[in-house]
Structure 1
Amino acid sequence: MAILKYDIRRPESEGGGFEVRYWSPINSPVLNADGEVTFIINRAEDVTEFMLLKQQDSERRRINSELQLRTSQMEAEIFLRAHKLQIVNNQLQKLTQAALEINAALI
C-alpha cells in the first residue's frame, strides 16, 4: 500500500500545533484451517524518518545538480575570458613589436 501522510496533534507541553508523520499501512490476512481468510490484521508503521531522509536526499541531489551546472557555466566563462585575454595579449605584443621597430627606425 502507498505511504500515507497524517498530521498528528502535538501535546501543548511540546508546543502544540501539528506534526507531519508518514505511515506505511500493512495488511496481514489470518487464515483458518481451510485456508480461508478469517480476518485481516491492519497495522501502520511510522516511516517518518525514512521519508524525511528521502526528501533530504532529493533536495541534496537537486542542489548538487544545480552546483554542477553552475560549475560548468563558470568553466565555460573562464575559458572564454582566457581566450579573449590571449587574443588581446597577442595584439598587444604585435603593437609593442611595431612600436619598437618604429622607435628603432627613428633613432
Structure 2
Amino acid sequence: MARLTIITNPTLAPGFALAGVQVIAAESDAVARRALARLLDEGEAGIIALDAPYLASLDYATARRIDELVKPVVVALPVGAHVLPEQRRSRQIAELIRRAIGIRMTFRENEQ
C-alpha cells in the first residue's frame, strides 16, 4: 500500500503526526533534501509532500528526477493559511490528480 509522507518544519510536524501521517521534521533545506533523496531511493512512498520552500530549494537534477517519476508523486505543501487563492488551489489540486492518475480534472467555478 502506498503511503503519504510529509517533510515539513519542526513547528508543523506534530500536527501532521497527530493526523496519523508519517512525518519527517526538517530543520533546514539541506535536511529536507537528504530526507527526500532517501525516500526516493527507498521507493516505498506513494506521495511525498514537502514544504514549498524546501521543494523550491532542490537542485536541478533532483527536480528533474521528480518530474520523471511516476511514483512517488511529489507535491509542494503551501506554507501559511492563505498562501494560494481559491482558484489557484483548484488548479493545483487538478494538476496533482493529473500527475497521480493521468486524468485532467476541471472544477466548476462554484465547486469546492
Q: Same fold (TM over 0.5)?
A: no
Q: Which has the bigger relative contact order, CA under 8 A and spacing at least 6?
A: 2
Bigger radius of gyration: 1
Provide TM-score, normalisation by structure 2.
0.18
Provide TM-score, normalisation by structure 1.
0.18
Q: Which has the higher strand share?
A: 1
